[in-house]
Amino acid sequence: MNAALTLRERSEAEASRLPPLLARAEHLAGTVLLGDHGRRRSGLGDDFWQYRPAQIGDSRRMIDHRRSARGDQQFVREREWQIAQSVMLWVDQGASMRFASDKNLVSKADRARLLGLATAILLVRGGERVGLTGTTLPPRRGNAQIIRLAEALSQDLETDYAPPEHRAMIPHARAVFISDFLGPMDEVELALTKAADRGVRGVLLQVLDPGEETFPYRGRTIFESVGGSVRHETLKAGELRERYLERLAKRKDALTQLCRATGWQLGLHHTGDSAQAALLWLYRALDGGTR
């Protein structure tokens, strides 16, 4: 009886977290004006994209006779590419993401989940299939999929750093990875390398707290990981600042080089900045990656 009651309490607690996340993501997605969705490539669709010279293999019915009548060359009227793509999402749910340096700031996890779910909402509204990396939630369309994503993204992991999921990558799909990327770098390298080998291109968004960029700590300070696995006490925190900032700069450079080598795009977002601006960048980066 107690076990059943505990399970019910946990389920109710999780359910109580879901509506606010979903509502906020819906609101954030609604602030981004997309207009008619289109991936700006020629293919199957109803909207005009461009004229191109007729080629061997084009059928006569593809030729636009009005445009061709202006000269001696025949032209084909191409349509905008609107075939649904599969987009795979990974949002870091490790304990390190629950850090916030100030009570007036949201945690990195809160912002990452919000951006991840809002991106999924925009993509699904545009006809895309969206799911999670791995095998737990394959890409699908529809509002039911958004609810499944919201439920999955509302979970926390106890480990300090969660490695990117790289199983079951769909060949030639798109992907979005959102994390602070402060954990072991070899896991990130493995994930992006495997993705690139399967023709997967995507966007990597690093989410950091402003305090992680400035290291404002002085004097006696106790540094402890959110998950509790690491603890360090010092009387002269200010002396660590230069070494810390140097290591952070090296990590950012490593991410830049990795994205360059694998054809991914890299973005940086601070939890003190506008979530709307970050969402717009994410969506445009994904859109640009399909051209």
The pTM of the full predicted model, rounded to 2 decimals, is 0.75
Residue 80 is predicted with a pLDDT of 47
User: How confident is the prediction for the chain on average, in pLDDT?
Assistant: 80
pLDDT more than 70, % of the chain: 72
Separation of alpha carbons 119 and 89, rounded Å: 9
How high is the pLDDT of residue 29?
92
Can you tell me the distance from the alpha carbon of 90 to that of 129, in angstroms, rounded to the nearest whole number? 14
Task: Please report where in the chains the tokens 């461009």 appear, as a residue.
Answer: 50
Domain coordinates of the chain in residue numbers?
17-37+83-288, 48-79
pLDDT at 148: 93
Tokens 């602070």, residue? Answer: 180
The pLDDT of residue 115 is: 96
Where the chain has pLDDT below 50, the residues are: 1, 35-45, 80-84, 219-223, 233, 235-236, 289-291
Residue with tokens 């945690």: 107
- Give pLDDT, residue 147: 93
Residues 6+ apart with CB under 8 A from 175: 87, 88, 89, 90, 133, 169, 195, 200, 201, 202, 203
Q: What is the structure's pLDDT at 93? A: 94
What pLDDT was estimated at residue 216? 56
Q: What is the CATH number of domain 17-37+83-288?
A: 3.40.50
